[in-house]
Amino acid sequence: MTVIELDKVSLTYPNSATSAVSDISFQIKKGEVLALLGPSGSGKTTLLRLIAGFEHPDEGLVLLEGRNVCQSGDCVPPEKRGIGMVFQDYALFPHLSVSQNIAFGLKKMSRSDRLKKVNEIIEMVGLTPFRERYPHELSGGQQQRVALARALAPDPIVVLLDEPFSNLDPDMRTEMRREVSAILKNTGSTAVLVTHDHEEAFCMADQIVLLNQGRLEQYGSPEAIYHTPLTPFVADFVGQADFIPGLVQGKVIETVIGDLQNKTGFASGTEVMVMIRPDDIDLLPRETGKTTILARQFRGSENLYTLQLPTGEIVHSSQHSLTVIPEQTKVNIRLKMTHTVVFEKSEVKS
């Protein structure tokens, strides 16, 4: 079942020359986590606000459970949309305990139902020992669990999470991504996550809407976005991507590091750019090698080598961190790509 649908939605803020979001369409199914991913200013928050009802589209439709929420200028207000929100700063009520914070949205329930629901959800997010504490007596991660519990308690049709991990330190962030994912999956919740961090989107989302300057660059699974980026922007945004020139010659694409299978529709003679990721390249130190190691960056589980090809282009190769090859070593390189991503030369900014 489709819980949320945006159909060709555009919005320009008053006094703004350009649209904040333009012609955006996507759907979120029940139980799915969708990430709105993109750099700062790409329109993520605007889309979240359009779903929540704090903004209304100039063009296009927002449908919640199949219902158009703005009919000829008459829009369903945020509090009537059945949506839960988790804000960046959690926005907990400082003078209310954990259980009171969670009970806040359940005023319409009977006292006994409310108590039952609060107990159930506190247990689920692992906060039972902290139920009488106040927000300032909790760690960042615990406050976040309260915020999520408060959002989920009224059984919203969707929970919106606005950069929910940005206030946590990196270790805590990794743990909370896992925990929040597990809670969302265990409760079968539908969620929209706003993030500028592709790793966060990859590990939490079923579907990603990748935005750039208010436009949708790509909409698909994390795997599709990483392995088959549709634009150079996507390729670059979701991981290290280098581009090397190639020339289409029938069934192959000739490049400085060898011929690649041509599975594109480009005609012979087309000048293209081939995307190379660091995990696509293997290297072997050889005195006769024509490629030079310019730098090595130790990243814990891997070493990232910066390589200069004989034609001057720079590419990167990730190797196991126990293999240390000094800078300036000459190497031979071998491509171990399972598929090639190719763009027309004019599409790739140098």
Residue 214 near residue 42, CB atoms below 8 Å: yes
Give me the count of residues in the chain.
350
Residue with Cβ nearer ligand ADP (22 or 340): 22
Residue with Cβ nearer ligand ADP (43 or 229): 43
Least distance to ligand ADP, CB of residue 92, Å: 22
Residue with Cβ nearer ligand ADP (43 or 84): 43
**Part of the chain binding ligand ADP (CB under 6 A), chosen from 43-51, 87-95, 198-206, 241-249:** 43-51
Least distance to ligand ADP, CB of residue 337, Å: 32
Size of the site for ligand ADP (CB under 6 A): 11
Question: Please, where are the H alpha helices in 238-344?
Answer: none
Question: Please, where are the H alpha helices in 14-67?
Answer: 44-52
Q: Does 40 bind ligand ADP (CB under 6 A)?
A: yes
DSSP annotation string for 271-299: EEEEEE-GGGEEEEE-TT-SEEEEEEEE-
Residue with Cβ nearer ligand ADP (46 or 143): 46
Q: Which of 24, 43, 117, 135 binds ligand ADP (CB under 6 A)?
A: 43
Give the Å distances, CA to CA, from 234 to 202, 208, 280. 13, 11, 17
Q: How far apart are CA 203 and CA 200, in angstroms?
A: 5
Least distance to ligand ADP, CB of residue 322, Å: 40
Q: Which residues contact 70 (CB under 8 A, 6 or more apart)?
A: 56, 57, 61, 62, 76
Q: Does 198 bind ligand ADP (CB under 6 A)?
A: no
Q: Does 20 bind ligand ADP (CB under 6 A)?
A: yes
**Part of the chain binding ligand ADP (CB under 6 A), chosen from 44-52, 73-81, 117-125, 275-283:** 44-52
Q: How far apart are CA 242 and CA 341, in angstroms?
A: 11
Q: Which residues bind ligand ADP (CB under 6 A)?
A: 13, 16, 20, 38, 40-46
